Amino acid sequence: MMILTARRLATDLGAWRSAGPAYGALADRIRLLALDGRIPLGARLPAERELAAQLAVSRTTVAAAYTRLRTAGYLESTRGSGSVVAMPGRGAPGHDVGGDGVVLDLSKAALPAAPQVGEAAARAASELPAYLNGNGYDPLGLPRLRQALADRYSARGVPTAPGQIMVTLGAQHAISLLARTLLGRQDTALVEAPSYPHAYEALRSAGRRLVPVSVDARRGWDDDGLEQAFRRARPALAYVMPDFHNPTGAVMPAGQRERLMAAAGRQDTLVIADETMAELRIDGVAELPLAAYGPAVLIGSMGKTVWGGLRIGWIRADEALVHRLVQSRYAQDLGTPILEQLIALEMLGNYDELLRFRAKQLAEGRRTLETLLGEALPEWEVPRVSGGLCTWADLGAPVSSQLALAARDRGLLLGAGPRFGIGGVFESFLRVPFSYAPEDTRRAVGILASAWRSLDAGAPLRDDFAPALV
C-alpha cells in the first residue's frame, strides 16, 4: 500500500482553495487528484492532524473533507488502516463517474483506429504461421520491422541501421525502460513543464528529482531556462517532446534544437526526444529529428498515428545502449508480441498515405474546435497549433481544477491543467483535444461552456458528487 505523506499531498494539492467552504474545496481537489490518477487507488491519505498542520487549517476542516469523500465513496476507512482512496462503485457507496454518468471522455488526446487497421490485422494473421516454430520471445523486435523503422528515420534525415532500433510495448514502455536503465537514485532528470504526466511518473520513480524548464504554447521553450538547468543541475538525462509538444502543441525550431544538444553535450547529459506526435503534422514544414544535431535517443510509437490499441513503440539509440536496454528489459517483460509487430509492418507499407489522411482529419478537428471555442468561450485564449492532437487553452483565471470538476459533474472528462505540471501549477490552462468526431467536440464545448458559466456566476460546486447528465 502506498502511504502519502502530508507534505507530498500538500504539494500535489497546489492552490486548492476556492470559493465556498474550505472543507468542500479540499475534498474536491483530493477527488480530482484521484480521478486524474495522481493519487493511486488504494493509497492511504495522511492522518487528519498531520494534514491539517501541513495545510495550516483546522483538523475539523480536514475531517469534514474526509467525511465528504467517504460519503461519496472516494475514501474507505478501516480501523488500523486509516483512510484509503477508493472509487465509487468499486466496493464503496456512491456514484461512479466513469460509468453511466459519463457523456464524453476527452481525457486522452487520441484518435480512433485508422481505417486500414482491420485489413492489416487480417493480413498479419495470415503471416503468423511462419513464426510459430520459434519460441515467440522477442526482446529486440522482428528484423523486418526494425529495418522498416530504420529506413523511415533515414528518410527523415538521420541515417539509421536496424541495430539501432528496439521495438517496445508502446511509447510509455520505452520511457520507463530508458528511465530504469539510465537513471540512478541520485540522478537528476531535466523535464519540460508542462509535459506528459506519465513521463514524470516514470522518471520520478527511477531518479532523485526532476528539474522543470518551461514551455509556452506561443513562445516555445525557455532558452535561458534550458541553459541554466543544464549548467546548474547537471542532469543525467533530459526528456523533451520537440514536435507538437503535449500539451502545448509547440514545435522547437532548428536553432533551438542545435543549442539544446550543444548544452546537453557540455554537461554529458543524454537527451531523450519523445516523437510520438512528430508525424502528426497538419501544416508547416517538418523539422529534422533531434538526433540530427547530436546523440539523442528517439522514442516513436503507433499509438497516436495508427491506434492506441496497437501497442507498438520503439527506441532509436546507439547499438551499445540498445544492448543495455535488452538486458534491462528482461526484468520486466520478455518481448513484444509477434502478431502486433506484423500488423505494424503492414501499416508501415502505406504509412505516408495514412499520415496524409490523419492530417486532413486533424485539420478538420482543429477548425471545428477553434470555431466552437471562439463562439462559446471567446474570453479564452486558444493558440493555433500546426499539428498534434490538442490545444492548451489559457482560461485567463486559475480555475482549471474547478472547471474540470464542474465538467465532470456534467458528464465530460478532461484533464485539468495541473495534471500536466509539477506541484499543482497550470491552474489557468486546460488541455482540449481536437482529435474527436465533430459531434463529440460540439457536445464537449457545450458542456464546457455550461461549466464555465457556473464558475462565472460564483456558484459553488455541488455538495454531492453525482454526475448530472446534460
Residue 254 lies in a domain: yes
pLDDT band per the 50, 70, 90 thresholds, residue 43: confident
Q: Residue 2: its pLDDT value, please?
A: 76
Residue 186 lies in a domain: yes
- Pair (333, 282) in one structural domain: yes
Q: Residue 39: its pLDDT value, please?
A: 84
- Pair (196, 315) in one structural domain: yes
Query: What percent of the chain clears pLDDT 70, i.e. is strictly above it?
Result: 93
- CATH number reported for the structural domain that contains residue 44 in this entry: 1.10.10.10
Using the structure block, give the residue that is written with the C-alpha cell 491543467: 417
pLDDT digits 0-9 by tens, 288-334:
999 999 999 999 999 999 999 999 999 999 999 999 999 999 988 99
pLDDT digits 0-9 by tens, 58-70:
999 999 999 999 8
Query: Which triple of cell numbers denotes residue 66?
Result: 474526509
Residue 1 lies in a domain: no
Pick the more confident residue, 14 or 428.
Answer: 428
Answer whether residue 426 shows pLDDT above 50: yes
- Pair (172, 200) in one structural domain: yes
CA distances from 237 to 190, 264, 292 (A): 6, 9, 18
**d(C-alpha 373, C-alpha 441), whole Å:** 10
Which residue segment(s) compose the domain that 143 sits in?
Answer: 117-349
- CATH number reported for the structural domain that contains residue 338 in this entry: 3.40.640.10
- CATH number reported for the structural domain that contains residue 439 in this entry: 3.90.1150.10
Q: Is 39 within 8 Å of 30 (Cβ atoms)?
A: yes
- Pair (225, 326) in one structural domain: yes
Nearest Cα to Cα of residue 174 among 275, 52, 95, 307: 275
- Pair (337, 394) in one structural domain: no
Q: Is 403 within 8 Å of 444 (Cβ atoms)?
A: no
Answer whether residue 461 shows pLDDT above 90: no
Q: Is 67 exposed, middle or buried (0-12, 13-18, 19+ CB in 10 A)?
A: middle
Mean of the pLDDT values across residues 119-146?
96
pLDDT band per the 50, 70, 90 thresholds, residue 464: very low
User: What angle, rounded to 10 degrees, do the helices at 351-376 and 338-348 form?
Assistant: 80
Which of 349, 372, 390 is where one domain is finished?
Answer: 349
Mean of the pLDDT values across residues 345-373?
97
Work out the mean pLDDT of the chain and round it to a whole number: 91
pLDDT digits 0-9 by tens, 200-225:
999 999 988 999 999 999 999 999 99
- Pair (239, 291) in one structural domain: yes
pLDDT digits 0-9 by tens, 83-98:
899 877 654 333 334 4
Answer whether residue 52 shows pLDDT above 50: yes
- Pair (344, 367) in one structural domain: no
Residue 468 lies in a domain: no
Answer whether residue 3 shows pLDDT above 50: yes
- Pair (345, 366) in one structural domain: no
Q: Rounded to two decimals, what is the model's pTM?
A: 0.82
Pick the more confident residue, 7 or 150.
Answer: 150
Using the structure block, give the residue that is written with the C-alpha cell 537513471: 183
Residue 43 lies in a domain: yes
Q: Is 212 within 8 Å of 422 (Cβ atoms)?
A: yes
Which of 318, 349, 380 is where one domain is finished?
Answer: 349
pLDDT digits 0-9 by tens, 95-109:
334 444 667 999 999
User: What angle, rounded to 10 degrees, do the helices at 171-182 and 319-329 form?
Assistant: 100
Residue 90 lies in a domain: no
Q: In sequence order, what are the residues at sequence separation of 6 or more whose Cβ sits closer than 8 angstroms to the Cβ of residue 203?
A: 175, 179, 183, 189, 191, 210, 237, 239
Answer whether residue 459 shows pLDDT above 50: no
pLDDT digits 0-9 by tens, 156-189:
999 999 999 999 999 999 999 999 999 999 999 9
Which of 349, 365, 391 is where one domain is finished?
Answer: 349
Answer whether residue 340 shows pLDDT above 70: yes
- Pair (155, 52) in one structural domain: no
Residue 128 lies in a domain: yes
Query: What percent of the chain clears pLDDT 90, i.e. is strictly above it?
Result: 79
C-alpha gyration radius of the chain? 23
Answer whether residue 145 shows pLDDT above 70: yes
- Pair (150, 128) in one structural domain: yes
**d(C-alpha 76, C-alpha 63), whole Å:** 14
* Phi and psi angles of residue 394, each rounded to the nearest 5 degrees, phi first: -90, 115
How many domains does the chain divide into? 3
- Pair (215, 157) in one structural domain: yes
Residue 99 lies in a domain: no
- Pair (369, 432) in one structural domain: yes
CA distances from 282 to 297, 303, 365, 367, 389 (A): 25, 18, 11, 11, 10
pLDDT digits 0-9 by tens, 370-416:
999 999 999 999 999 999 999 999 999 999 999 999 999 999 999 89
